[in-house]
Amino acid sequence: MYKFLENNKKDQRIKHIGAKNLILASKDFMKIFCVGRNYANHAKELGNQVPTEPIIFSKYSTALLKDNKDFYYPNFSQNIHYELELVYKICKNGKYIDEKFAQNYYNEVTLGIDFTARDLQQKCAQNGKPWEIGKAFDNSAPIGKFVPLDSLATPEEITFSLRKNGEVVQQGNSMDMIFTIDRLISYISTFFTLQTGDLIFTGTPEGVGAVSIGDTLEAYLGDTLLLKTAIK
């Protein structure tokens, strides 16, 4: 870490935030895995086939937006969509994790929004290019406070919902996931070592839609508000 700082002394951003803050921020250098089309009705609403194996993509730690901070509409898109998703945090390092042991690798869950620049994503996909810029941009992953799974009455069946300006626009149930969190952990860990602190966005149910400046999004796990962000 110190060597890294030494090598980057002239970097303007590091000068700006200061070495001390950078060390504090280093705990956020986790991997963020996201799953596409994990709810059949959402795959259909975008005109996609229901997948036969998980579709995995990634975001970066710079995509995280925490503490109910505002989301600033980026100037590179005219069609930012919300996608509300259950997010599991990895609590143990592992590789080639068998599905039947996967539950040892997570113990907390929250809600996150997989903000998507739908216009960029579709343009990339149509041209056969990776959709990275439409998905992984800065602040595209607001997350709420994590909740211990053992504090939930039914950790295997989690209901959640998103309100836009007070109106319910998405409702989900973890039982409707095509690939369970255990299956996803097994699949992802075949290719990537999972490490403590890594996050898995498990895909969105139907009802995705556009946001506009002035909107407020609120995400509820059951009846509990876990995440709120205003679009500025």
Contact set with Mn ion (CB under 5 A): 83, 114, 204
Between 56 and 91, name the residue whose CB sits nearer to Mn ion. 56
Residue with nearest beta carbon to Mn ion: 114
Between 201 and 220, name the residue whose CB sits nearer to Mn ion. 201
Q: Which sign does the torsion angle of CA 139, 34, 214, 162 carry? A: negative
Between 62 and 93, name the residue whose CB sits nearer to Mn ion. 62
Between 48 and 78, name the residue whose CB sits nearer to Mn ion. 48
Between 55 and 91, name the residue whose CB sits nearer to Mn ion. 55
Q: How far is the CB of 10 from Mn ion (least distance, A)?
A: 37
Q: How far is the CB of 202 from Mn ion (least distance, A)?
A: 9
Residue 228 DSSP one-character state = E
Q: How far is the CB of 143 from Mn ion (least distance, A)?
A: 13
Q: How far is the CB of 34 from Mn ion (least distance, A)?
A: 6
Between 94 and 120, name the residue whose CB sits nearer to Mn ion. 120
Q: How far is the CB of 37 from Mn ion (least distance, A)?
A: 8
**Paired tokens of 208:** 């995705």
**CA atoms of 20 and 13, how far apart (whole Å):** 13
**CA atoms of 157 and 112, how far apart (whole Å):** 17
E strand intervals along the chain:
32-36, 55-59, 64-65, 80-82, 84-90, 106-113, 116-117, 141-142, 147-148, 159-164, 167-173, 199-201, 209-210, 216-221, 224-230
**CA atoms of 230 and 207, how far apart (whole Å):** 19
Q: How far is the CB of 165 from Mn ion (least distance, A)?
A: 21
Question: Is 105 within 8 Å of 93 (Cβ atoms)?
Answer: no
How many Cβ atoms from other residues are within 10 Å of residue 186's Cβ? Answer: 21
